[in-house]
Structure 1
Amino acid sequence: MTKVQEINFDGLIGPSHNYAGLSLGNIASSTNAGEASYPREAALQGIAKMRHNIDLGLAQGFFMPLDRPNIAWLDQLGTTIESSEPHVRAAAYSASSMWAANAATVSPAQDSEDGRCHLTVANLQTMPHRSHEWPGTLAQLRLVFANPDHFSVHGPIPSPFGDEGAANHMRLCPSHGEAGIEIFIYGKSGGPFPARQHVEASKAVARKHGLQDDHVIFAQQSDKAIAAGAFHNDVVAVANEQVLFAHEDAFEHRDDFYAEVQRKFPQAEIITVPADKVSLADAITSYLFNAQLVTLPDDGGMALILPTEAKDNEAVWTYLQELVSGNGPIRKLCPVDVRQSMANGGGPACLRLRVVADPDAVDQRFIATPEKLDAIAGVVEQYWPETIMPEQLTDADLLTSIKNARKALLETCALTDLAT
């Protein structure tokens, strides 16, 4: 009998983590542009979150940071670290692959026609600093999920259709190991910020994954949410097994969408957070919905793994305490400190990619254990820069130290096959 379960793969935060304010529509990223970042602290916070999840009894994996700065990308642009414009240089240095929710869209084997888990790498074409991630991410995905009996890893959806991966994808099911419905959330252009997920990209992913029409829903993210800074759906909604947890203003045609959910998955339990209890602004700044909604082992119910910012927001925390005190499925609140990631616009859910699979079918080098995390933390403490200011990105010594830090990490994790 296979041991199918949900594995959360977290992106290890790379040594080039900096605040250049590159993500238009991401309020936190824009607000903190130009500030000092703390790569070592950021990576250790991410490792601590993984330890926390393992302690909860959850399956945990990780992805390596990509090689940064991306010299090959700069070469394609006809420039170098020294001669490039500051915004281009910052894009080459970006550590944004840490937000693994944007690595790919994942459909478990239980949902697909051929009985394999399908992953389509996201093209991330809307933002220049993320548009050059996919080749490195694809190479890593094909290593992690190399077993052809269990996985099929697809290349990116072609331009001009923007695809942002699992951050705009949700799944409802009786349990992780059973077939369910997959929900693809897309945006439409309009307002001050771009919509990053194109409906044609979502449709293409569903086709490539072999999903049946009666088990798929395409729904539009609300223009209001995008304009308020919800650049991905996972900033205003999250799902786990039979539960959909969303803000009142998350979806453009909410009643029609909910009716389709109930029709295609009658077991769905929809929890809508009213705007008069938690405003859209509070939901976005606290990243209430950018939480990991997880099923605890041994019939422990569900837990929300939240950023500590949610606890700091009085309206959000009051609502959450009322939520878990009732008889609903969400029973536990687990605040975690990921402030360095939050300051660049990514909460606990941004940092992880959910993959329902047998952990034994995955390349074991990417499965986290306390011992591996100890070793990774040791590398981070020794090699990761303590702080980076954006103006340091022309510093040759910084470039060398960042390259050496990643090299040491790959050697420690026996993953030198990702060195180039």
Structure 2
Amino acid sequence: MSYREINFDGLIGPTHNYAGLSLGNVASAANAGEVSSPRAAALQGLAKMKQLLDLGLPQGVLPPQERPHVPALRMLGFDGSDAAVCAAAFAADPALFRNAFAASSMWTANAATVSPKPDTADGRAHITVANLASMAHRSLEAQETEQWLRMAFTDEQHFCVHAPLRYGVHFGDEGAANHMRLAPAHGAPGVEVFVYGEEKGGRFPARQRRRASEAVARLHGLDPKRTLLVAQSDTAIQAGAFHNDVVAVANEQVLFAHEHAFEDKAKFYAALEEALPGVVIIEVPSSEVGLEDAIRSYLFNSQLVTLPEGGMALVMPQECRDNHRVWDYVQKLLAADNPIREAIVIDVRESMRNGGGPACLRLRVQVDEAALAAIDQRFLLDDAKWERLCRVVEEHWPERITPGDIGNPALWDQCWAARRALLAAMRLA
């Protein structure tokens, strides 16, 4: 049966701003307090979706979440109208309000972990919503993410959506950003790799807990013989690789990773080769691309996709071309004998400046034709819907947001209205 991979991108919301909320994220910290461009950010994200669509790849879209997030503020004791709640919260605790204003749900690689039908015990695709417990602003996302995913994947014959794991940071789960799937093809049984962090007293925290990864594997009914739990390199975490997808990406039989991505790479590579004979491991040596260059360029946060005509492409940010060491390596990679034969450079600078590259913006779902037909079509993109969403963004998204604007009631009203217009355009109102 034919299988296809759908990338569900998060549409960048109207509150996109640079508040520097993500500890351990180098770009987020470096650009804290800068002026953001929400309209340009959303249009860049939509342009990326259109490029994938034009390649012949199915493309999905998830709407931005409600921000400012009034329900969270009400639960913390602020009351009155929505505007009164926001005004009181901003006056009492500006840092708290910035968390409630964040547009971070755009990075849907953190929305959930997905295991397709060929890997699961009951033959359904399993999706576990990430709790994102390690960061306050991201922990607000899980409830609405679950709502959208249950709507998109409502057919229980093909899909099983699991609620976020409980027990807070003890089961901290960051979703697909710390999960890789390798297989001979999308529709073949695969090896699922869960990458977790170990706390070693560094200045940056490890966000993915091993217990969380183990729980997700159990919930999905995965074969233990084809499930690998791998520790992320603490060296990479402390350098700013807050998620595994900053230093490694996989697609079908290819693993593309930095030399310092994993704590015990020899053990991992051996286990992977045993579980998946024929795996192609492309390791980038630090002598050619150091961790700093890898993290600044987000080389490994490229989308590694299988092209309809065969072979694979790396959909990479413009920052890779701008870094001569990274770009020199990419040219060598494309000239070598491996399945990656094309580099597609895209502009997602607004997302990059906030710490998220092309792969951060998408959640991968592999489906057969029957499951594809069962997905709620409102979440799938075509040319007409893409044009409609672009018009909504151009008409309603703020052009710029300065740090001082975040406490402006007129901006809150604009952002709420913009989201309502977007939901109406997607027929999700």
1:298 aligned partner, one-letter code: E
Separation in structure 2 between the aligned mates of residue 258 and residue 4 of structure 1, nearest angstrom? 27
1:310 aligned to which of 320, 333, 336: 320
Mapped to 2, the partners of 1:361 and 1:270 lie a distance apart of: 34
1:395 aligns with 2:395: no
Structure 1: distance between partners of 2:158 and 2:240: 37
Which residues in structure 2 correspond to 1:266-285 (within 5 Å)? 266-285=277-296
Give 1:226 shift. 0.2
Q: Does 1:295 align with 2:295?
A: no
Partner in structure 1 of residue 82 of structure 2: none
2:119 paired residue among 111, 131, 135: 111
- Tell me, yes or no, if structure 1 residue 170 matches structure 2 residue 180: yes
Q: What does 1:173-322 align with in structure 2 at a 5 Å threshold?
A: 173-189=183-199, 190-299=201-310, 301-322=311-332
Which amino acid counterpart does residue 344 of structure 2 have in structure 1? C
State the shift of 1:319 in Å: 0.3
Displacement of 1:4: 2.3
Displacement after TM superposition at 1:243 (Å): 0.3
Q: Give the distance between the partners of 1:237 and 1:326, measured in 2 at CA.
A: 19
Instruction: Tell me by how many angstroms 1:393 deviates.
Output: 1.5
Counterpart of 2:3 in structure 1: which amino acid? V
What SS does the aligned partner of 2:88 have?
Answer: coil
SS in 2 for 1:185: strand
How many pairs were matched up? 414
Aligned partners of 1:286 and 1:195: how far apart in 2? 21
Which of residues 93, 103, 112 in structure 2 aligns to 1:95?
103
Tell me, yes or no, if the aligned pair for 1:90 and 1:390 is still in contact at 8 Å. Answer: no
Is this contact kept in 2: 1:16–1:402, CA < 8 A? yes
User: Are 1:21 and 1:32, in contact at CA under 8 Å, matched by a contact in 2?
Assistant: yes
Deviation at 1:97, TM superposition (A): 0.4
SS in 2 for 1:82: helix
Percent identity, aligned pairs only, is: 56
Q: Offset of 1:267 from its aligned partner?
A: 1.6
In terms of mean alpha carbon deviation, does 133-142 or 361-370 score higher?
361-370
Contact residue 305 and residue 348 of structure 1 kept, 8 A: yes
Cα drift, residue 83 of structure 1: 2.7
Q: Distance in 2 between matches of 1:266 and 1:138?
A: 36
1:86 to 94, 105, 109: 94
Which of 324, 342, 352 is matched with 2:334 structurally? 324
Partner of 2:394: 381
CA–CA distance in 1 between the matches of 2:305 and 2:140?
31
1:200 Cα deviation after fit: 0.1
Alignment correspondent of 2:47 = 48
Aligned with residue 131 of structure 1, among 135, 139, 146: 139
Q: Secondary structure at the residue paired with 2:404? A: helix
Matched, 1:142 2:150: yes
Q: Is the 8 A contact 1:71 1:92 kept in 2?
A: yes
Deviation of residue 390 (structure 1)?
Answer: 2.1
- C-alpha distance in structure 1 between counterparts of 2:173 and 2:10, whole Å: 19
Query: Offset at 1:57?
Result: 1.1
- 2:38 corresponds in structure 1 to 39
What is the distance in 2 between the residues matched to 1:286 and 1:198? 26
| Aligned partner of 2:159 among 126, 151, 155 | 151
Question: Over residues 302-349 of structure 1, what are the superposed CA-to-partner deviations in whole Å (9 max), with x where a residue is unaligned?
Answer: 000000000100000000000001221110000100000000000000
Which stretch of the first structure deviates more once superposed, 228-237 or 365-374? 365-374
Equivalent residue, structure 2, for 1:75: 74
CA displacement at 1:298 relative to structure 2: 1.8
Name the TM-score, length of structure 1 as normaliser: 0.98
Does residue 342 (structure 1) correspond to residue 358 (structure 2)? The answer is no
- SS of aligned partner of 1:34: coil
- What's the counterpart of residue 81 of structure 2? none
Q: If each structure's helix is expressed as a fraction of its own residues, which one has the higher value?
A: 2
**Aligned-residue offset at 1:232:** 0.2
Q: Give the partner amino acid of 1:40.
A: R
Q: CA deviation at 1:161?
A: 1.1
Quote how far apart the aligned CAs of 1:30 are: 0.4
Once residues 199 and 413 of structure 1 are traced to their aligned partners in structure 2, the CA distance between those partners, rounded to angstroms, is: 37
Between the aligned partners of 2:63 and 2:107, the Cα distance in structure 1 is 11
Within 2, Cα distance between the matches of 1:413 and 1:152? 24
Aligned with 1:40: secondary structure?
Answer: helix
Distance 1:412 1:240 in 2: 33
Aligned to 1:81, the other structure's residue is in SS state helix
Aligned-pair distance for 1:409?
0.6
AA paired with 1:222?
A: S
Q: Deviations over 1:49-83 (max 9, x none)?
A: 01100111111100011111110101112233223
CA distance in 2: counterparts of 1:223 and 1:199, whole angstroms: 14
Q: Distance in 2 between matches of 1:81 and 1:401?
A: 14
Match of 1:57 in 2: 56
Are 2:428 and 1:415 equivalent residues in the alignment?
yes
Distance in 1 (alpha carbons) for counterparts of 2:337 and 2:244: 27
Q: Which amino acid aligns with 1:400?
A: D
Q: Distance in 2 between matches of 1:321 and 1:361?
A: 40
Compute the displacement of 1:181 (Å). 0.5
Q: The residue matched to 1:333 in structure 2 has which SS? A: strand
Amino acid aligned to 1:201:
A
Distance 1:267 1:414 in 2: 45
Quick check: 1:372 aligned with 2:388?
A: no
Question: TM-score, normalising length from structure 2?
Answer: 0.96
Gaps of 5+ in 1: none
